[in-house]
Amino acid sequence: MNYSVDDNGFYGRFGGAYVPEMLYANVEELRQNYLTIMAEPDFQEEMQSLLRDYVGRPTPLYFAKRLSEKYNTNIYLKREDLNHTGAHKINNTIGQILLAKRLGKTRIIAETGAGQHGVATATVCALMNLECIVYMGEVDIERQAPNVARMKMLGATVVPATSGSRTLKDATNEAIRDWINNPGNTYYIIGSVVGPHPYPDMVARFQAVISEEIKAQLLEKTGSEDPDYIVACVGGGSNAAGAFYHYLDTPEVKLVAVEAAGLGIDSGESAATSVLGKEGIIHGSRTLLMQTEDGQVTEPYSISAGLDYPGVGPLHAHLHQSGRAIFESITDEEALQAVLELTRLEGIIPALETAHALAVISRLGAKPDEVVVLNLSGRGDKDLATYLDRFNFDDK
Amino acid sequence: MINRIQQLFAQKPQGLLSVYFTAGFPNLEDTVPIILELEKNGVDLIEIGMPFSDPLADGPTIQQSSEVAIRNGMTIPTLFAQLQDIRQHTQIPLVLMGYLNPVMQYGVERFLQKASELGIDGLILPDLPLSDYVREYKEVFERYKLSNIFLITPQTPEQRIREIDTHTNGFIYMVSSASVTGSTTGQSVVNTTYFERVKEMGLRNPGVIGFGIHNQETFEQACHHASGAIIGSAFIKAIAKEESLSENISTFIQSIRHKETA
Ligand SMILES: Cc1ncc(COP(=O)(O)O)c(C=O)c1O
């Protein structure tokens, strides 16, 4: 089985570039240049030094002793929450901003759900002195207020997306429309492994640093590069793609992708695309998509803004269809319990997105001598208002 | 292959007015009345929009008409049912326009067969890639005598325009400027260099200019550089007004073309 993208931008039957002609030139320019630019020594040098000195990589691989004791196995947390800006998203924005500069672009646009990608984009734009416009659904602006404040502080313009479900899908639509209206000077930094080819492949390559580091760190700590399980949450799927990347061709390593079930798979309020979706086209890519019988995109729901998306990246659609990855889904309630559990056992407050991955540990059936690596994609500062509201600490 | 689109351009190579509307807007049952009124008012070609929840290439007007149409219950099967007897009432060239996903769910081949049975002449599916069309669907389109209309923009390279020209046989939809639909600000539609560059290429297919055409002035400018022009968002705004559908349509079309109809 081959899990890398083919020459036409497909993973098996998924992927491609289903874009209107107005986007063709933009996407084509990127497709023709991304691999060449990424291979240039001075690009690599600049990216590596920023990842090290600015982002704070490598991030630790931490043996979570109390969590491991509770589940009677060996759990390692890949601490992407310790990156500058608090999530894995900046691995990708560093890479793409360097690419944008080399393509001579002067105006940067992005979509964001949880606001982590928006913050990571606003951050690198401040660093590189480039104009930054971030599209964000009205609902998400409300529920991720701290990140909206950070983006503004960093000098970005935050534009509310007011159509549809007013979440990540709609923010992405608006960013794409902006790109249509501003070809030439504008570069679109997509925040996950979604969108038309070459974005899914490019973003996966920038996030692949996660599994590259896991291999070396695990070897040092356990004597083997390969864990038994790698667990990651999936919105569009970029942190999962990064954590899986260098293990895709090692079938002994079980890959576990965790989606948001929202109020429950059958509740009508869910974002579990692998269960509820069928093949379709969203944001320029052929992938699994939650939709009606008539092919209208369904408005998803999750408590977690970063997972509240009706599609998944085409790589994940392929991993699901081929059986290479196991897909699980976790409800809002289960995710919230996992937040509190990690906070009280390890003193780490995770993001709501990440909590979905954590909540799956109890279902894995990992044995006492097995090793689980969980990608701790982000920290929970942005979600404190939700946590305070849901946990009622004052009453306890 | 000769369909009504090809006949039209053979008979009337200049000053064509094509109108786009979203099926199911303002009301679910307006599709056929709009088509018949447009024909009565001398429009040459009609693009029937199939609404999609996430219309990436459209501005606010068509986003909203699509949302209303979907809420009104418009679907592909409903549209096909409305068009069941359309060829008993009019011979105006009809083109269906929409995004690929709903068509894919209906089944592309089944869709083409049904459209052809109803007397549809062509399709515009802006997010169907040229390469997919050539590889998987071109033969089916030709079998059903359907023209597949492609878009080009000021950014489309000459070589790609030529490639599109060899694979299509109706007209080429020239997007006036870099923009989503319905934009009337920014650079004017008179993107002369681009229009003239395309004209000088001597393509097999006639060109029709669309996006941002919204009044007599912009219509005439566009007609000066191509075989005709397409009006979408401005027409949708016009039929959203309070007066009757037929009044709104005749007022609007006359405002675009009052010299010619006189
Ligand atoms: C902390 C965190 N994890 C995960 C995600 C989901 O994105 P992806 O699936 O691309 O990793 C987000 C998105 O905002 C996030 O902020």
How far, in Å, is the centroid of ligand 1 from the Cα of A37? 26
Measured distance CA(B49)–CA(B39) in Å, rounded: 17
Non-local CB neighbours of B160 within 8 Å, separated by 6+ positions? A24, B130, B152
Cβ atoms within 10 Å, residue B157: 12
- The interface predicted TM-score of the complex, written ipTM, equals 0.94
pLDDT category at B1 given cuts 50, 70, 90 is low
- List Cα–Cα distances, A105 to A35, A131, A196, A251, in angstroms: 17, 10, 19, 41
Q: What percent of chain B clears pLDDT 90, i.e. is strictly above it?
A: 92
More confident residue, B189 or B237: B237
pLDDT digits (tens, 9 = 90+) for A193-235: 999 999 999 999 999 999 999 999 999 999 999 999 999 999 9
Name the catalytic one among A78, A89, A169, A382.
A89
For Cα atoms B123, B127, B130, give the angle at the middle one, nearest 5 degrees. Answer: 80
Mean pLDDT of chain B: 94
- Distance in Å, alpha carbon of B60 to nearest chain A alpha carbon: 9
* Residue with CA nearest ligand 1 atom 13: A306
Question: Is any ligand 1 atom within 6 A of the Cβ of residue A306?
Answer: yes
* Closest by Cβ to A173, choosing from B56, B105, B131: B56
For ligand 1, say whether the CB of A357 is within 6 Å of any of its atoms: no
Q: What's the CA-to-centroid distance between A240 and ligand 1, angstroms?
A: 9
Nearest residue in chain B measured CA to CA from A280: B101
Interface test mutation site (partner B, options A294, A297, A309, max chain B beta carbons within 10 A): A294
CB-CB under 8 Å, A293 with B180? no
Is the pLDDT at A236 greater than 90? The verdict is yes
Active site residue A377: yes
Tell me what pLDDT residue A38 has.
Answer: 98
The CA-to-CA distance between both ends of chain A, in Å, stands at 53
Among chain A residues, CA nearest to B161 = A21
Contact B151 A169 (CB under 8 A): no
Residue labelled with tokens 């349509």:
B249
Q: How confident is the model at residue A124 (pLDDT cuts 50, 70, 90)?
A: very high
B12-38 mean pLDDT:
97
Label residue B188 by pLDDT band (50, 70, 90). Answer: low
Band of the pLDDT at B262, cuts 50, 70, 90?
A: very low
What's the CA gap between B238 and B38, in Å, rounded?
13
Packing angle, helices A145-153 and A116-128, rounded to 10: 10
Determine which one of A328, A353, A377, A382 is catalytic: A377
Tell the residue number behind the tokens 């794409």, with chain if given. Answer: A176
Indicate the residue of B52, B156, B178 with minimum beta-carbon distance to A181.
B178
Residue of A80, A141, A150, A238 to mutate, ligand 1, most atoms within 8 A of C-beta? A238
* Lookup result for tokens 């007397």: B119
Question: Residue A192: CB within 6 Å of ligand 1?
Answer: yes
Q: Is B137 on the interface with A (CB under 8 A)?
A: no
d(Cα B115, Cα B83) in Å, to the nearest integer?
Answer: 9
Q: Specify the residue with its C-alpha closest to ligand 1, atom 4.
A: A353
**CB of A121 within 8 A of CB of A110?**
yes
Sheet holding A157-161, edge to edge: A157-161, A131-137, A107-112, A186-188
Q: Give the pairing type, strands A285-289 and A325-331.
A: unpaired
Q: Residue A194 phi/psi, 5° resolution? A: -125, 180
Q: Using an 8 Å CB-CB cutoff, list chain A residues near B59.
A: 177
Say which of A8, A16, A280 has its CB closest to residue B105: A280
Q: How confident is the model at residue A396 (pLDDT cuts 50, 70, 90)?
A: low
- Rounded Cα gap, residues B161 and B156, in angstroms: 7
Q: Model confidence at B179, in pLDDT bands (50, 70, 90)?
A: confident
What is the mean pLDDT of the segment spanning A96-120? Answer: 97
pLDDT of B260 strictly over 70: no
Percent of chain A with pLDDT over 70: 99
Residue with tokens 């109803």: B118
Disruptive mutation site among B50, B79, B127, B175 for chain A (greatest number of A CBs within 10 Å): B127
Check if the beta carbon of residue A357 is closer than 8 Å to that of residue A328: no
- Identify the helix (H) or strand (E) that includes residue B215: none
Is B177 a residue whose pLDDT tops 90? no
SS (H, E, C) A51-93: HHHHHCCCCCEEECHHHHHHHCCEEEEEEHHHCCCCECHHHHH
Q: Quick one: pLDDT band at residue B189, thresholds 50, 70, 90? A: low
Q: Ligand 1 pocket, A236 CB below 6 A? A: yes
Query: How confident is the model at residue A395, as a pLDDT?
Result: 66
Chain position carrying tokens 């059903």: B144
What span, in angstroms and rounded, lies between the C-alpha atoms of B26 and A289? 28
B101–A25: do the CB atoms touch at under 8 Å?
Answer: no
Please give the interface size between A and B, counted as residue pairs whose CB atoms are below 8 Å apart: 105
**Contact residues, chain A, for B180 at CB < 8 Å:** 22, 177, 180-181
Is the CB of residue A273 below 6 angstroms from any atom belonging to ligand 1? no
In angstroms, what separates the C-alpha of A19 from chain B's closest C-alpha? 5
B190 versus A245: which is more confidently predicted?
A245
For ligand 1, atom 16, name the residue with the nearest CA: A116
Give catalytic status of residue A111 as yes or no.
Answer: yes
Q: How far is B190 from chain A (nearest CA, A)?
A: 17
A163, A182, A295 ranked by CB distance to B63: nearest: A163
State the amino acid at position B234 in one-letter form: A
B142 is catalytic: no
Q: In which band, very low, low, confident or very high, does the pLDDT at B259 lie, cut at 50, 70 and 90?
A: low
Helix (H) or strand (E) holding B204: none
Confidence (pLDDT) at B261: 43
Sign of CA dihedral B107, B109, B115, B117: negative
Give the model's pLDDT for residue B185.
Answer: 60
Q: In this predicted structure, which of A160-169, A236-245, A251-260 has the lowest mean pLDDT?
A: A160-169
Nearest to A322 by CA among A230, A257, A227, A270: A257
| pLDDT tens per residue across span A133-174 | 999 999 999 999 999 999 999 999 999 999 888 999 999 999
Residues 83..112 of B with a Cβ closer than 8 Å to A: which? 99-106
Q: Is the pTM of this model over 0.90?
A: yes
